[in-house]
Amino acid sequence: MDLDLTGRTAFVSGSTQGIGLAIAQRLALAGARVAVNGRSSQRVQEALDALVGAGVDPSRLIAAPGDVTAEDGLAAALEAAGEVDVLVNNLGIFGAAPALEITDEQWQRYWDVNVMAAVRLIRTTLPGMKERGWGRVLNIASDSAIVTPAEMIHYGVSKTALLAVSRGFAKDAAGTGVTVNSVIAGPTYTEGVQDFVYELVDPSLPWEEAEVEFMRLHRPQSLLQRLIRPEEIANMVVYLASPLASATTGGALRVDGGYTDAILP
């Protein structure tokens, strides 16, 4: 399968660690120039160094620091990236909180970061893709968009909204050669998720045991019965970004380890 993205420029929001960093690496290895984004120049440079250390050609990497939840930060990051052919909205926040204790401010913050940052990035980059007759927009959603977790309903609701954002913009891009899709990521191992797991299980457990206990108690419906690795999410993203996925748009594609107990999303 030829996933060649040579000549394309990708922008991956929140790509200094975890799933975003894995996506940036896979896109670069497929030939794309990749704009690595984070809030600080230092974090972005550390990510670039890690990617080069993992074998990525430095000429395929662009430093694109900027807080994309803020107008000036978004503008600065996109200016560094240049003309974007592949937009990956990966930036997101999550955390456990009792449902009745989630404040208006917390609800608003999750909406701004998990939904509106993606909307603004799409609104800024999609017109150029449509004019050029080719483009890919990929929004990283979550199994929580479908199976709302009781311990973080604000997160689940924001990811449900992101599915609608994807479907709506796919309709806007109809017939232009631009595709818009969501990737539904299941429970995935990242540093942030490790901290989250220890909020829900005995923090004295070694990580291997804590992961098993978390899946047993809090994600028992997973058919993998383990946390997904970031590169497994990235593999789907690179395929959808490639020319081979030209007939896939308006969809919500699952990389959830069978977590969602449904034939369709």
For residue 223 the two structure tokens come to 């058919």
What pLDDT is recorded for position 1?
Answer: 76
Nearest CA among 225, 216, 91 for reference residue 158: 91
Half-sphere exposure of 20 (CA within 13 A, CB side): 25
What pLDDT is recorded for position 133?
Answer: 98
Nearest CA among 130, 128, 163, 131 for reference residue 145: 163
For residue 121 the two structure tokens come to 């990035």
Reported as type and span, the H/E element at residue 158 is: helix 153-172
Q: Domains of the chain: which residue ranges?
A: 9-188+229-255, 189-227
For residue 100 the two structure tokens come to 């009745």
pLDDT (tens digit per residue) in 74-108? 999 999 999 999 999 999 999 989 999 999 999 99
What pLDDT is recorded for position 214?
Answer: 95
Task: Say which residues have a Cβ less than 8 Å from residue 245's Cβ, sequence separation at least 6.
Answer: 136, 179, 181, 239
Low-confidence ranges of the chain (pLDDT < 70): none
Pairing of strands 86-89, 135-142: parallel
**pTM flag (> 0.75):** yes
Q: Does domain 9-188+229-255 have CATH number 2.40.30.200?
A: no
Whole-angstrom distance, CA of residue 95 vs CA of residue 110: 10
Active site residues: 155
Pairing of strands 178-185, 252-255: parallel
